[in-house]
Amino acid sequence: MDKPPLFLWWEMDEIIIFVTCIGLSFIFFKEAGPGVIIGMVGMWLYIKTIKKKGRIKKVLHYLWQRGAVKYPMMPPGYYRYFWE
């Protein structure tokens, strides 16, 4: 119940990288071959460098502090002083 939606055994954020690479490959090269290879490498790099080491949480926290991401029930991150 708590797991994000999956496509086969990949999560949707990983599939978006793969599908985007295939789409860009059709636009630039008019074939899917380079997009599949680049998409698989991009997915692997995303999983190894960002997802598994918890860096995505650090990036989201940085964006929250700058006001780019808003969480429900929390004040914006750039507020230094606030009252209840």
For 26-63, write each residue's pLDDT tens digit.
999 999 999 999 999 999 988 888 777 667 777 777 88
Q: Percentage of the chain with pLDDT > 70?
A: 76
CA 7 to mean position of chain CA atoms: 15
- Say yes or no: 37 and 15 in one domain: yes
- Say yes or no: 72 and 38 in one domain: no
Residue 71 domain-assigned (yes or no): yes
- Say yes or no: 45 and 32 in one domain: yes
- Say yes or no: 37 and 14 in one domain: yes
- Say yes or no: 38 and 16 in one domain: yes
pTM: 0.57
Residue 1 domain-assigned (yes or no): no
Q: Which domain holds residue 49?
A: 6-53
| Domain total of the chain | 2
Tokens of 3: 């797991």
Instruction: Answer with the residue of higher pLDDT: 8 or 22.
Output: 22
Place 22 in a pLDDT band, splitting at 50, 70 and 90.
very high
